[in-house]
Each structure stands twice: as structure tokens, then as C-alpha cells.
A and B are shown apart, each in its own frame.
Chain A
Amino acid sequence: MLRERPAAAAARAAAATVSGLAVGISEVWRRYGPVTAVAGVSLDVAAGEFVSLLGPSGSGKTTLLMMLAGFEQPQSGRLTVGERDITRVAPNKRNVAMVFQRYALFPHMTVAENIAFPLRMRRIGRAEREARIRRALDMVKLEAQAGRKPAELSGGQQQRVALARAIVFEPPVILMDEPLGALDKKLRQHMQIELKQLQRRLGATVIYVTHDQEEALTMSDRVAVLNHGKLVQLGPPRALYDQPADAFVADFIGEMNLLPGTVRAMTGELCTLAVDGGTAVGMAASNSDGQLASGKPARVAVRPEHVELVAASGAAQDGLPGQLAEIVFNGATTAMLVELAGGTMLRADISTRSSLAGLHPGSPVVASWAAGAALVFPGAA
């Protein structure tokens, strides 16, 4: 049984790749009175893919997941799993597993009974059932705890039981709503890795809800960023980080300096702006078509690691003059917080090894960056 496992997993993964599309969400809307929880979201998830739904509180992540699980109904739009339209299918007929935030383990059943539940509901025979439970327990490393009740397990172990219960019936897709939200930071990071490894090994398709952007970036093949019910950007983590579609994504993913200003000149894609204390440059964001005319309000977005600092020499220097306000040691990098002439704060992350000797809070500095490292988004804050 155990020796067969990698082969079986590989076969499943292959089958998944062949079948292609695992989950289809098209033009889905859900309103609650005046609140639009999900506004026309379309999203295709390939088999074997790990997709995160990322967004601030109230952006519609849970609502979208609940519609996939069948506990909420979309007012319009279509949901499919594989070739099957599940838009109006009852939750217990969907064959879509869900891992709840607080695990929702059945407190009166042992770990093994919890995992057996979906198999019993599918009337899977005893021998097969026991074999599958053993395999699932082995996969989440809980063989020794099979006879315990959920209350006798640690948070991380409960999380793993919930996972085993979800994978044991080999659903075509697993939905997770902030499954690690209840764990402390250290355990959460450990479980992120474990969960990711398990997902790869099974070739499982996962739709994962989180409002923790770091978690989304480390675990996902692709991230769907939601804001006010709308899908604002969908792409691999690196693409979201390097080419955010708008100022919201730029600000939400990773650390970002967003300086408000006014467009001075456009030279091709190169945009020059008047900002607090001087002139800044950046590349026009890809979907800013025509909105960056001279005199229009705009924001320039630049990552702290792309900001260069030099001590002010008194002579004319290119860049934004300011005063070093604070130095925050973060391990490998050191964050330098600069107060620009008009009071705006700018963060520069400098490698701790090269950290500028002789600079201390109060030192006059000049901040600059390569035009290609910054993006300019139209509109005021």
C-alpha cells in the first residue's frame, strides 16, 4: 500500500493534467441588499493548481468559496467542476471538499471516525475504507493519534485531521478558508510548507482563501487579488509583485512606497512627476492608457529595495532630498525611513552588510531610483 503511493499520486496528477480545467467560475455575482459581496468574478483553475484568493477583510473571499461549496447561491453566473455545472447542485452532491477555518471536526468522533465520515457517506466498503484512512493518516503523520478525540489534539494536529478528512475521498478540488488562521506564527509557517508539499504530492487542486499576502505569495501557483468583490488581478506571485495592475495591488502585495504627485511630462512610457520635494520618474502602468497627461494627478510606486540613498553633499544631486528619520534593523536588510521635504515618508531597504556608515537619524539624504524600477498609476490617493 505504502509503496504504491507515489505511483498512484503520479497517476492522479497525470489524470488531472489531462482533464485540464478543474474549476470554472464565470461572471459570478452575489449581492446582500446594498452590499455587493462578489461582483462579476471570472476565474479558471487548472487541475493540480494551487490558487489563492487574496484580499482585505470584506472583499468577498469567503462568499466566493461558500458559493463553490454550495452554501451560498450566486444571483447570476456559472460554476463548474470539471465538465459539470454545479451552480445549482446541493452542497452534499458537489464532491468538493472544504477545510473550515476552525476545522469543524466532529467533537464526538475520534480522529479515525472523522476521517471515515466522507467514506461512510459514500458507502465505501470496510476494507477499502480502513486502507484509505490509514493512507490519509500516514500522509498527515497522525497514525499514532487515530483513536483520540479532537479535543485531545493540538491546534496543528487538528488542522491535519481536517486536511486528512478532506483529501481522503479524493475530491477534484479542495477549498480552504484561512485554514491556518487559528495557528500561531511559527506553526503557521511550518504548516504552510507541509500543506504545500502534500498538495504537490497528491497533485490536488486547491483554492485557498487568505488575507495574508505573504502566505499567498509563498504557497500559490497563482494569486487572485480581490477588492470590493472584484477580481483586480490574477497571476503568478512574481508577476503580482513586479507588475501590479493598479495602486491597490501595488500597496497590498509586499512593501511599497506610493508617492502622490502631478504628471509633468510623458516621454513614451517614461513618466516624470512633480512630487513632494522634487521630481520623480517611473514607467506608466500598463493599463493607464492615456490617463497620464501632463497636469493630471498620479502616484509613483517604488519598492523599498529599489530606493537608493546617498548622504546629501550640498552640491546639486538628482533625487528627492529628505532627512533620515529612523533606522530599523530587520536582519538581512535594514529599513531606512526618510522624511521627504514636505513630510511624506519614504522607505528604503538597504542590505545590512552595506548599510551606509555614518548615517544616523537626522542626517540629510537624497533618495533616488532607476526609472525602470518604479511604476506610475493615474489618479489621486
Chain B
Amino acid sequence: MTDGATGARASGGEWLFHAICVLVLLFLMVPTLLIVPMSFSATAYLTFPPAGFSFEWYHTFLTDPEWIDATLFSLRVAALTTLASTVVGTMGALALVRGRLPGRQTIEALLLAPLIVPPIIVAIGVYLQFAPLGLTGTLPGFVLIHTALAVPYVVLVVSAALQRLPPSLEMAGLNLGGSRLACFRRITLPLIAPSILAGAVFAFLASFDETVVSFFISGVEHKTVTRKLFEDIEFNLSPVIAAASTVFVVSTILMMWLADASKKAATQ
């Protein structure tokens, strides 16, 4: 009812604007949404529209050792990356926002570089560095580079939270006799915790979704699930790809919703 009322008042320009927004959203989402029906297909290869209905491909995804290995490896990399980048990113944000760093802007620019430099460039650079060091196809190698890629997200989110926090709170803590560490633990940390959590979710997704660098440095034994997806698209093109993608899309949406909810709770 109220929608109708506002709609009646909306000008033609507004209608056009809303229509364009809907079209853009559809354009962005349809490819992802098409995956879902394809994953329930009864055929042995990817088709659209899907023919028949079965859970077979979900069964394959959850039982095939290659898929399980790749998924578990990706999860392990993502978990360690989340841990490392959350700690490093939070400390970085503290130094950038609260510290009196010389050359702060340069450091900030360098930190955000991985977001700007094309992934393929990063991938080639990392491969050339890692290969002689024997880091390709290893857990530490993946965690190292994924941490570098994920830290900017944490720094951005946590910096924003710190900038919103009045410095007088930490000053009051010191004034009342708290050490710097006690003030951080009891005042700053609890107040920016929701943003740290949001940063952690972004870091996890940045690692888990990371494709280009993972494609380059995956080994025969240790490959990420993104690399496995690539390989299957090239050689098999079976609906198991769609099943795996659906699982990832749903978990991603769940995590984003969680991060959003925790940030909302913080701003209230």
C-alpha cells in the first residue's frame, strides 16, 4: 500500500532509475542463479535448461576424494589466512590511525596495492618468487600470498571503525590508570570487535575465492578448490562443478550476512 503511494508520487525519472537498477542487478545475478538449477541436472554434462532432477552431483562432490582434498585444502588455507591477516591488518590499522607514523600515506598506498594491481600480474610475480624457494604448492606458500592479498580488506574495515572511535575514550582509559595494553584490551578491542569480525569474513572470502594466483601456484598434491574447478571446466564439464559452486555461493551469502549483521549490531 505504502509502496503504491510513494510510487504514485515518484517522477518518471525515478521510475527509469529504479528500472535500470533492477536490470543491472538481474544482469549481475542471473549467471550465478543459473548455476543452481544446473546443479540438479540428471545429465552427465552441463546443459541448460537442465534435464531431469537428481542429487547425484552433490553426492559426487561430497564423496570424490579429489574434490574433498581440494575443498579441505582451500578451507585450511582460508582459515590460516584469516587468522594471520586479521592480526596483521588490525595492528596495521592501529598504527595507521592512532600512531604517528612517518610516511603514513605511502604505507597506506602500498598496503592497498594488491587491490589495485591486476591479479595476473601478482600471480606471475609470486610464481617467479615462490618457485625457486620451493613455496609453490605448499600450505605456507598459499597462506603467505593470500595473507598479503587479504590484509588490505581488514585494514580498510578496521581503520574505518577506529576513525569512528573518539580518541578521548582511550585517553580516559589511560587517565584512569590503565596501561596501554589494558586500554586496548578493555576499551578499544571490544568496541572495534564487530569490525574485526567483518574484516575476518572478508579475508576468509578473499582467500577462499582467490583464483588467479591459486591457479599459478597450485601443485599436483596441493590444489585449491578454485583450481580444481578450473581443471574440471576444462576436461569434464560435469554438473558437479555447478553443485560445488552452489555450495560455495550459499555459504558465501551466509557469511556476508553474518558480517553485515555483526556490523549492524555494532553501530546500534
Known: A104-B166, A107-B191, A117-B186. A169 touches B171 (CB 8 A): no
Check A100–B177 contact: CB distance below 8 A. no
Check A118–B171 contact: CB distance below 8 A. no
Chain B contacts of A121 at CB under 8 A? Answer: 176-179, 182
Chain A contacts of B174 at CB under 8 A? Answer: 70-71, 90-92
Q: Which residue of B lies closest to A115 (CB)?
A: B176
User: Of B169, B179, B186, which one neighbours A92 at CB under 8 angstroms?
Assistant: B179
Check B176–A165 contact: CB distance below 8 A. yes
Check A108–B190 contact: CB distance below 8 A. yes
Q: Which of A90, A95, A100, A121 has the largest count of B CB atoms less than 10 A from its CB?
A: A121
User: Of A107, A117, A169, which one neighbours B173 at CB under 8 angstroms?
Assistant: A117
Chain B contacts of A105 at CB under 8 A? Answer: 172
Determine whether B175 belongs to the interface, using a CB cutoff of 8 Å to chain A. Answer: yes
Check B191–A97 contact: CB distance below 8 A. no
User: Of A95, A102, A107, A108, which one neighbours B177 at CB under 8 angstroms?
Assistant: A95
**For chain B, which range describes its interface: under 10, 10 to 19, 20 to 34, or 35 or more residues?**
10 to 19
- Report A81-108 CB contacts with B as 1/0, cut-off 8 Å: 0000000001110111110101011111
How many Å from the CB of B92 to the closest CB on chain A?
23
Chain B contacts of A91 at CB under 8 A? Answer: 171, 174-175
User: Of A90, A94, A100, which one neighbours B171 at CB under 8 angstroms?
Assistant: A100
Check A102–B175 contact: CB distance below 8 A. no
Q: Which residue of A lies closest to B178 (CB)?
A: A121
Determine whether B187 belongs to the interface, using a CB cutoff of 8 Å to chain A. Answer: yes
Q: Given the complex of chains A and B, what is the CA–CA distance between A117 and B179 in angstroms? A: 12
- The number of residues on chain A lying at the interface, defined by a beta carbon within 8 Å of a beta carbon of chain B, is 24
Q: Given the complex of chains A and B, what is the CA–CA distance between A104 and B168 in angstroms? A: 6
Q: Given the complex of chains A and B, what is the CA–CA distance between A105 and B180 in angstroms? A: 17
Check A104–B191 contact: CB distance below 8 A. no
Determine whether A186 belongs to the interface, using a CB cutoff of 8 Å to chain B. Answer: no
Check B176–A102 contact: CB distance below 8 A. no
How many Å from the CB of A162 to the closest CB on chain B?
9
How many Å from the CB of A208 to the closest CB on chain B?
16
Determine whether A69 belongs to the interface, using a CB cutoff of 8 Å to chain B. Answer: yes
Check A108–B166 contact: CB distance below 8 A. no
- Identify which of residues 158-195 in chain B touch chain A, using a CB-to-CB cut-off of 8 Å: 166, 168-169, 171-180, 182-183, 186-187, 190-191
For this complex, 24 residue pairs linking A to B, each with C-beta atoms less than 8 Å apart, are A70-B174, A91-B175, A92-B174, A92-B176, A92-B177, A92-B179, A92-B180, A94-B175, A95-B177, A96-B175, A97-B176, A98-B172, A100-B171, A104-B166, A104-B171, A106-B172, A107-B191, A108-B190, A117-B173, A117-B176, A121-B177, A121-B179, A122-B177, A169-B177
Interface residues of B (CB under 8 A from A): 166, 168-169, 171-180, 182-183, 186-187, 190-191
Interface residues of A (CB under 8 A from B): 69-71, 90-92, 94-98, 100, 102, 104-108, 117-118, 121-122, 165, 169
